[in-house]
A = this chain, B = another copy of it.
Amino acid sequence: MSEQTQPAEVAEIDPALERLVHDMIGRVADKWTLLILEILEDCGELRFTEIGRKVEGISQKMLTQTLRQMERDGLVKRTVHPVIPPKVEYKLTQLGHSLSYAFCGVWTWAETNIGKVEEARAAFDARQ
């Protein structure tokens, strides 16, 4: 990273965009979002309560909230079937899939390095 030699090139990104990107990541890296993303990636289209059952420990409130958020961000498509009792299905959009793929690296990192992290924690705690 040597952007001082090419002033107009990388430009260190403009601060406004950078903030937006941070906000995006903050939003999208949310625990429940990640879990729902994962499940919809695995299972395809699911109903509201099916997602609720598959996402261990999520409250109905958080489920609604997170799904609404993801829908608003264009990550999931919500389909309401006009039947009684109501049937609402959720699936990832193309954008949702692409985010899911983007997270593969982090996911893999976590799986492969969790041992090292726990080791580091143990060592740190032992030092105190």
Contacts and interface: CB of A to CB of B under 8 A. Distances in A.
A73 B117 CA distance: 5
Nearest to A119: B74
A71 to B, nearest CB: 7
Count of identical protomers in the assembly = 2
B110 A28 contact: yes
25 contacts: A17-B111, A20-B114, A21-B107, A22-B31, A22-B34, A22-B35, A24-B117, A25-B34, A26-B31, A28-B106, A29-B29, A29-B30, A71-B124, A73-B117, A73-B120, A73-B121, A74-B116, A74-B117, A74-B119, A74-B124, A99-B113, A101-B105, A102-B105, A105-B105, A106-B106
